[in-house]
Amino acid sequence: MRTLFTSVAFLFIVIVIGNTVIIAQDMKPPVAKKEPKVLKIHGYEITDNYAWMRDRNKEKDRAIIEYLTAENKYVDSYMGMHQGLVDTLYKEMLGRIKQTDMSVPTYNGGYWYFNTTEEGKQYPKFLRSKTRDGANPEVLLDVEEMAKGFKFYSVGAFEVSDDGNMLAFSVDTTGYRQYTLQFKDLRTGKILPEKFDRVTSTEWSADGKHFFYVQEDDVSKRSDKLYRHTFGSTGADPLIYEEKDELFGIGIGRSRDKKMMFLVSYAATMREARYLSSDTPTGEWKVISPRREGHEYDVDFDMGEFYITTNKDAENFKVVRAPASDPSEKNWTDFIAHRPAVKVDGLSFFNGYAVVSELENGLEYLRVMDRKTRRADMRIPTEESVYTMGLTGNPEYNTDYVRYNYSSMITPNSTYEFDLKTRESKLVKQQEIPSGHDKSKYETTRVWATARDGVKVPVSIIMKKGTKLDGKAPMLLYAYGSYGASMTPNFSTARLSLVDRGMIYAIAHIRGGSELGEKWRQDGRMFKKMNTFHDFIDCSKWLIANKYTSSDRLVIQGGSAGGLLMGVVVNQAPELFKASIAQVPFVDVMNTMIDDTLPLTTGEWIEWGNPRDDKKAWDYMFTYSPYDNVKKQKYPNMLIEVSLNDSQVPYWEGAKWAAKLREMKTDNNVILLKTNMGAGHGGASGRYDRLKEVAFDYAYALTQVGIEK
């Protein structure tokens, strides 16, 4: 077998301090073999020297694993001298977690559902009780026990039938996000023999005799087929719907009053919803509004009417109502009018009430509507100027209160109950920090950086109170900026280990997310994607100019599409950054986006562009594709992290990128490639293992700016 990387070299330096012997290991990084592969497309010829890294056939698979293992040994060598700090950070982070704990019980269908964690155990138990205090609990799933023998274990679906007798649950045992569906009879405790693979979305019928599930394609992982399982039936489950358009995936859900089921076909810029009464599970699904380019909508059902949250003539969305007899567009009438400055981010119905999740000027709000007494709407008040909040754990329709989560970068995660009648909030549970947390020692703020086109970009910041803004403070700057996902200024116990050591932590809310509404999202995608990268660079320059940090003290971090961000900005402005942490980075953009056999690619074409068929898209995307734009220049130190079983961003993207960076860079800075050999896109599944990963990353960030303790 041909080796695909050169041998590595070791240099051992023995240092004696008193009676202590320290062995410092200087190990040179593996050098990946170059095997040129030429791609001809749109009149161009592109040479890829590291394409072999994705070729996991019998001949090369072993060599690829050996190469990734060698890279891991190099990471261990480099970070070995900092293992004490990694261990210290892990212990600190562990000390801030209540290891034996119980979640806030959630009422649904006569039971209180909750989960518990126990000290020393990686995974929780899922339980229920007839009383709110959790007395005499019934164990539904003991995940710690189920996970024995697996390196990775994740529970996906968890749905109990309306009568409380049956549990549908799904598990992934590799990290590839490929879930197997099973059923448990809660009356007997027995697991039923039925098993269904590649299940992504599930829903019960009202009578509990039928179960709907969506399966994904086994190659592209596109959720494209809906089946109906009938308990007691021996025949094959009937295919209810198949989504043929490769731009779309499907998912199934149900209204909170349990009366209506919805099947939604979704793409990046359009949606189409079908509905069916949950009392007639074998009936015909009907379309609310046929799909068309640019029309996005969600649908719900309450008090005998449909409610559609739509962007039709409403950039930031509005809500319309329609009769159950005919919910087509000709019968839509306004329920919540469009307000250009306020995005409708969600709508939740309860018996006689509605709660609207809103986004205004980068802040989240919950607006309560009383449909019984017609009292004036009210926003649930907040005390801080920078925070995050949202509804959580509200499956019950007939309720006198709704629950919401609230936190800020200095306020621990807090669960409140808002009384719908008295309009008062009560704190039910706040995250305990066993080692202690004094929020008065920290300060959080939001500043506005000016981008090159004059747009103001918000940046959320946490730092120790009294931190001098003289340019000497180290900073970790995080961002994402894609798919309309908002990076909220939430609380993190792990993050305190950075801030306690004098490091400022900041989140740049760049275009491509939805922090400032729908336009913010649209201005950072497709042929405006460059705004995302420019915003991050310009935020970095603004923070440096305003003395929050300096370029030799600035570490940056992003994952997945945020890893793409990391790749672009170190190509475009490497001088701004001391180091970069790129996690499961989407950096081999062109090769991935022309390959429709890879998971997610086809559905991404209307998010990024289709460079396979559209030369204009190719030309634009090629200008920022990180792998294709690596050039002979200086680069910051970089930690690149990938996962072998990642179905969303394959391991080879980061691996190829690391090899090319080492080949092209003109400095002595260090490129590390760290591969999780037993997990997927989200990293480790066990809570302790995940915390160790965070401790490692933060130790890397701290040591890059000279903090060793």
Q: Cα separation of 309 and 313, whole Å?
A: 12
Q: State mean pLDDT over 65-89.
A: 96
Mean pLDDT of the chain: 94
Angle at 175 (CA atoms; ends 4, 644), nearest 5 degrees: 10
Selected residue with higher pLDDT from 397 and 373: 397
The pLDDT value given to residue 562: 97
Domain 150-340 has CATH 2.30.30.110: no
The pLDDT value given to residue 55: 81
Strand partners, 675: 642
Answer yes or no: is pLDDT of 247 > 50. yes
The pLDDT value given to residue 58: 66
Answer yes or no: is pLDDT of 443 > 80. yes
**CA-to-CA separations, 693 to 7, 87, 175, 677, 689, in angstroms, rounded:** 28, 11, 15, 13, 6
Give me 612's structure tokens. Answer: 């396979």
Give me 312's structure tokens. Answer: 């039709």
Nearest partner of 636 among 693, 548, 696, 700, judged by Cα: 700
Q: What is the pLDDT of residues 659-684, one digit of tens each?
A: 999 999 999 999 999 999 999 999 99
The domain limits of the chain are: 150-340
Residue corresponding to tokens 């592209």: 220
Q: State mean pLDDT over 494-504.
A: 98
Answer yes or no: is pLDDT of 10 > 70. no
* Percent of the residues in the chain that have a pLDDT greater than 70, as a whole number: 96
- Residue 130: helix, strand or coil by DSSP? coil
In 546-650, beta strands by DSSP E? 554-559, 579-583, 637-643
* Percent of the residues in the chain that have a pLDDT greater than 90, as a whole number: 92
Q: What is the pLDDT of residues 567-594, one digit of tens each?
A: 999 999 999 999 999 999 999 999 999 9
Give me the numbers of helices (H) and strands (E) for the chain, helices first please: 12, 41
Q: What is the CB-side half-sphere exposure of residue 695 using CA atoms within 13 A? A: 22
- Residues labelled as active-site residues: 560, 646, 681
Name 630's Cβ contacts closer than 8 Å, sequence gap at least 6.
Answer: 571, 657, 660, 661, 664
Spacing of C-alpha 371 from chain mean position? 34
The pLDDT value given to residue 653: 97
Angle at 196 (CA atoms; ends 195, 202), nearest 5 degrees: 115
The pLDDT value given to residue 386: 94
Q: What is the CA radius of gyration of the chain?
A: 26
Angle at 682 (CA atoms; ends 138, 662), nearest 5 degrees: 160
The pLDDT value given to residue 372: 86
The pLDDT value given to residue 373: 86
Note if the pTM is more than 0.85: yes
Q: Do the beta carbons of residue 71 and residue 658 sit within 8 Å?
A: yes
**CA-to-CA separations, 186 to 113, 116, 128, 168, 243, in angstroms, rounded:** 13, 19, 11, 10, 34
Answer yes or no: is pLDDT of 13 > 50. no
61: confidence class by pLDDT, cuts 50, 70, 90: confident
Selected residue with higher pLDDT from 27 and 83: 83
62: confidence class by pLDDT, cuts 50, 70, 90: confident
26: confidence class by pLDDT, cuts 50, 70, 90: low
6: confidence class by pLDDT, cuts 50, 70, 90: very low
Residue corresponding to tokens 């679906």: 157
Give me 463's structure tokens. Answer: 């730092």
Q: Cα separation of 229 and 224, whole Å?
A: 16
Side chain identity, residue 555: V
The pLDDT value given to residue 27: 83
